[in-house]
Amino acid sequence: MHPLVTRIDLDAIAHNTRCIRTHVGDRQLMCVIKADAYNHGVDACMPVMEANGADAFGVATFAEAREVARLTTKPVLAWLWAPGEEIPAGIEVGAPSIAHLRSLIDAAPTLPTPIPVHLVVDTGMNRSGIDEEAWDEAFALAAEAEAAGTLRVKGLMSHLACADTPEHPFTQEQLDAFERATQAAHRAGLHPEVTHIANSPGVWTRKDAHLDQVRPGVSLYGSEPVAGQDHGLRPAMSWVARVVAVKPISRGESVSYGLSWQAPEDGYTALIPAGYADGISRSWQGRFGVTINGQWYPQVGRVCMDQIVVWLGSAEPQVRAGDEAILFGPGGMSADELATATGTISYEVLCAPKGRTVREYVGRG
């Protein structure tokens, strides 16, 4: 029994993958498992996704791609890298600039087969991708390299900025831009096997963005990417701790560094073994709490490196050392609720557990 655990429900991962698979029909499903499957664990989660409908996998870095490629025979795409990095054999590579494309062409002689490339186009997010004024040059260069057998243009991709706000007009502007990019690629003689732009919110809010392939991330792990919508997803992660101690406190006495909180009346506190070294940001303090035996209790005082204190109130506590305290997850606040309370997003909350946190799995997927 560990004092601090992220509990991952593999049955929830399987359920969410099937939900997306059903929703997108015959479109290819690329499951995004970057950042160690959004902190859920690639080794355990990826086989479950594969068994429940994944056609391909997407990651950010080459290091992640190498790890995933050893676990599957399905395509693995990586899109965040610097020109000059060693290109791993056997993976698909996103090319977000002409410099990246030239780097792939230079590396091609060292690899056993032509590199499958997904050309990344910027459709207005201004983060990553080939700018529109450079599309013709990039597509011509890619077509020349493809004709020479140096690389294979497997895909054309971009990323939606505002799909989590369904009424936002910018999504249509991006889809229009992506269509222009697709036509420009065709004029250059390129015929990518897959086009893809839809992230998790795009999967649910814009069927016209499904194209050949969708690229969901956070929905696989049970978080609703669009506020107020419910697609029957099941949260897969719970972050739980074991109460270390229950202590009495008198009215006016203070708690933790800086003595920033005083007990409003005689009562009790509980000590929870999780702090900023484990992923609880100091910016969360005073804005969240834990659920113990079905009752929510607020965190009080400063967040410390290793621990937090929660206020149990004035009544004789129904909490004992060893009881489970849910920081977020089923039975407590959801990751979405905690994100709202602390001024962030569920993605960051799911990535928060770290440090001394031990991961454990339930369900069979």
Quote the pLDDT of residue 287: 97
What residue type is assigned to position 188 of the chain?
A
Whole-structure pTM over 0.95, yes or no? yes
d(CA 172, CA 64): 32
Q: Take residue 175 and report the two structure tokens written for it.
A: 């889809």
pLDDT in tens, 136-153: 999 999 999 999 999 999
- The size of the chain, in residues, is 365
Residue 269: which region, alpha, beta or left (left: phi > 0; alpha: psi -120 to 50)? beta
Q: Take residue 39 and report the two structure tokens written for it.
A: 């902190």
Out of 80-84, 107-111, 202-206, least confident range: 107-111
d(CA 217, CA 199): 7
Q: Is 257 a catalytic residue?
A: yes
What is the β-pairing status of strands 4-9 and 237-242?
antiparallel
Average the pLDDT over 339-347 and give the result.
96
Question: Binning pLDDT at 50, 70 and 90, where does residue 53 land?
Answer: very high
Q: Quick one: which of 89, 83, 37 has its CA closest to 60?
A: 37
> By the 8 A CB rule, do 181 and 194 touch?
no
* Kind plus residue range of the DSSP H or E element containing 196: strand 194-198
Quote the pLDDT of residue 25: 98
- pLDDT exceeds 90 at position 40: yes
Q: Which residues are annotated as a binding site?
A: 127, 305
Question: Binning pLDDT at 50, 70 and 90, where does residue 124 land?
Answer: very high
Annotated catalytic residue within 154, 247, 257, 268: 257
Cα-to-chain-centroid distance, residue 12: 15
Give all domains of the chain, ordered by start, each with its CATH number.
10-221 (3.20.20.10), 237-362 (2.40.37.10)
Q: Which residues are annotated as a binding site for substrate?
A: 127, 305
What residue type is assigned to position 315 of the chain?
A
d(CA 237, CA 6): 7
- pLDDT exceeds 90 at position 236: yes
Cα-to-chain-centroid distance, residue 49: 15
Average the pLDDT over 290-295 and give the result.
98
What is the β-pairing status of strands 289-292 and 295-300?
antiparallel
Collapsed DSSP state (helix, strand, coil) of residue 178: helix
Q: Is 34 a catalytic residue?
A: yes
d(CA 329, CA 313): 23
Annotated catalytic residue within 34, 154, 221, 361: 34
pLDDT in tens, 239-283: 999 999 999 999 999 999 999 999 999 999 999 999 999 999 999
d(CA 205, CA 163): 7
Average the pLDDT over 16-42 and give the result.
98
- pLDDT exceeds 80 at position 1: no
Share of the chain above pLDDT 90, in %: 99
Average the pLDDT over 13-18 and give the result.
98
Collapsed DSSP state (helix, strand, coil) of residue 364: coil
Collapsed DSSP state (helix, strand, coil) of residue 262: strand
**For the chain, what is the mean pLDDT?**
97
Quote the pLDDT of residue 24: 98
| Residue linked to tokens 């791993």 | 88
Quote the pLDDT of residue 117: 98
